[in-house]
Amino acid sequence: MTAPIAKIRRERGSSVYNTLRHMAIAYQFKPGERLSEIELAERLGVSRTPVREALGRLVTEGFLQPATRGYMRRPLDVQETLDLYEARVAIERECMRLAIKRATDAQVEEACSYLEESRRVPAAAAVQRLVELDEGFHMRIADMAGNSELRRMLLSLNERIRFIRWIDMENVGRDSTQHEHQDILQALRARDPALSERLLSAHIALRRDQIVDAITRGLARIYLPQEQAPPPGAMPPAA
């Protein structure tokens, strides 16, 4: 049976939005690049309406900003990135505070099992996979907090800083991250609020010089020819 037109339109709009959001996250749109509804619609093989709607959502979510006759990819900005990391620290600290009070023993053990499984993933795995595992660990703490709004805010922040985390993961590597995750879980299991907060804050925060370095390396990655150094997590252009 033919699907209702309204359903087809919803599915097409969702697909367009997801594709454009991924391109924005991975900086396939270069910082400051102006985006054309017409060109994007032609590239994706859709009408301009779902493209316009998707671009509007991406402005609201902080990936794009309005420009003359359209939109542009927001620049990689040091102060904005610092602000995002400060917000992430604040949200995750509150999640940890609530998790210590609300997490069940089963949830803590599940997080321990998840960490053990993630540690078996080789450090040579694709960086987007390693960051995905890292985000999964932190989202489990958010789940333990039992606050859907904090979880939603953390998901949004993760997407906006994901490119920087890809670059930082390439530079820092995985061993120290895994050890820090283990220490955080041990403090959570012990229901130690002071230690948990201190370990989590130290683990998440990036200094200004680290952010400047990550942005510098990220911009080099973005502007090199794609065949030499594609952005981490890049997807092939949509047909």
Helix (H, G, I), strand (E, B) or coil at 25: helix
Amino acid at 148: S
At residue 52's C-alpha, the angle toward residues 167 and 1, to 5°, is 105
- Directed axis angle between helix 5-25 and helix 148-172, to 10°? 40
| Residue whose C-alpha is closest to residue 140's, from 183, 96, 85, 189 | 96
What pLDDT, in 10s, does the model give residues 67-106? Answer: 988 899 999 999 999 999 999 999 999 999 999 999 999 9
* Residue 92 sits in the same domain as residue 205: yes
Rg (CA), the chain: 20
What pLDDT, in 10s, does the model give residues 166-218? Answer: 998 887 767 888 999 999 999 999 999 999 999 999 999 898 999 999 999 99
Alpha-carbon gap, residue 192 to 188, rounded angstroms: 6
User: Would 125 be classed as within a structural domain?
Assistant: yes
**Residue 30 lies in domain:** 9-75
The gap between the terminal CA atoms of the chain, to the nearest Å, is 27
H or E, element range at 90: helix 78-102
Q: How many domains does the chain have?
A: 2
* Residue 118 sits in the same domain as residue 136: yes
* Residue 133 sits in the same domain as residue 62: no
Domain boundary among 75, 92, 123: 75
237 pLDDT higher than 70: no
